[in-house]
Amino acid sequence: MGGERTSRSVAEILRANIFTRFNFILGVLLGVILVVGQPQDALFGIVLVTNALIGIGQELRAKMTLDRLAVLSAPRVRVIRDGTSQDIAVGELVAGDLVDLRAGDQLVADGVVRASVSLQANESLLTGESEPVDKRAGDRLLSGASWSPGQAVIRPRPWAPTPTPASSPPRRGVSRRCARS
| Segment 92-98 long-range contacts (CB within 8 Å, at least 24 positions apart) | 93/156, 93/177, 93/178, 94/176, 94/177, 94/178, 95/156, 95/158, 95/176, 95/177, 95/178, 96/176, 97/156, 97/178, 98/153, 98/154, 98/155
Q: What is the pLDDT of residue 54?
A: 95
pLDDT, greater one: 163 or 140? 140
Same domain, 114 and 100: yes
Same domain, 151 and 125: yes
Domain for residue 98, yes or no? yes
Domain for residue 95, yes or no? yes
Residue 131: give the domain boundaries: 76-156
pTM attached to this predicted model: 0.46
Same domain, 62 and 105: no
Q: Which residues contact 64 (CB under 8 A, 6 or more apart)?
A: none
Residue 170's Cβ-side half-sphere holds a number of Cα atoms within 13 Å equal to 4
pLDDT, greater one: 26 or 88? 26
Domain for residue 117, yes or no? yes
Q: Is 97 left (phi over 0), alpha (psi -120 to 50) or beta?
A: beta
pLDDT above 70 for 168: no
- Give the tens place of pLDDT for each residue, 135-152: 888 888 777 777 767 777
Looking at 23, 51, 72, the residue that finishes a domain is 72
Q: What is the pLDDT of residue 169?
A: 46
- Give the tens place of pLDDT for each residue, 31-80: 999 999 898 888 989 989 999 999 999 999 999 888 887 766 657 778 88
